[in-house]
Amino acid sequence: MKTLTLIIDDDPAFNAILVRTLERRGHHAQGALDPAGALTLARQLAPQRVVLDLNLNGASGLALIPDLLAINPACRIVVLTGYASITTAVDAIKLGAIQYLAKPVEIEAILGAFEPDDGPDLDLPAPDEPLSVDRLEWEHIQRILNENDGNISATARALKMHRRTLQRKLGKHPVKN
């Protein structure tokens, strides 16, 4: 029996290409474009693997992780995002994802993320320089945004920031270290 991979991404082109690429490599794959469709497919098919986009038309893909794991506790979930941040990566792993990858990503990286791991590499060197103030601000905004389930108005209130200012900051790409 082939391992089923459920692709959950709101970009129809990316979703279709990833499903087709997995199928060509001998994997069984199905695609879903929204959270409701994803949960319906997950209940029907009980996928062993899930590739989950972090942002699903403004909704957080992280909210699906507990439901997907309730449907199949052995499911292995890899989160993809175009706007990677340490905060959302930590949240994804805490919720039960096994890996967090930034887009654009190669198919080999996605397939490799599902392979068994020997655990974290604790021999990684510490960074030479601390994160910049701008990067720390970006990480903080992402954490508060996640705590407010992606609600920009609630996040702006929590940050004591004007909503439009927050939207402008969120519209920019993440600040590099």
Query: What is the domain class of 133-171 according to CATH?
Result: mainly alpha
- Helix (H), strand (E) at residue 141: helix 133-147
> In this predicted model, what pLDDT tens digit does every residue of 64-115 receive, in sequence order?
999 999 999 999 999 998 777 788 888 889 999 999 888 778 888 888 888 8
The packing angle between helices 152-159 and 133-147, to 10°, is 130
Rounded-to-integer distance, Cα 11 and Cα 50, Å: 16
Residues 4-113, CATH architecture: 3-Layer(aba) Sandwich (3.40)
Rounded-to-integer distance, Cα 32 and Cα 4, Å: 13
Beta-bridge mates of residue 102: 81
For residue 124, what pLDDT band results from cuts at 50, 70 and 90? very low
pLDDT for 152 equals 87
Average pLDDT, the chain: 83
HSE-CB of 103 using CA atoms within 13 angstroms: 16
pLDDT for 168 equals 83
Question: How far apart, in Å, are the Cα atoms of 111 and each of 72, 91, 158?
Answer: 19, 22, 38
Q: State yes or no: pLDDT of 132 exceeds 60.
A: yes
DSSP 126: P
For residue 123, what pLDDT band results from cuts at 50, 70 and 90? very low
Give yes or no for a contact between 42 and 6, defined as CB atoms under 8 angstroms apart: yes
**Which pTM does this prediction carry?**
0.67
> Where in the chain do CATH 1.10.10.60 domains reside?
133-171
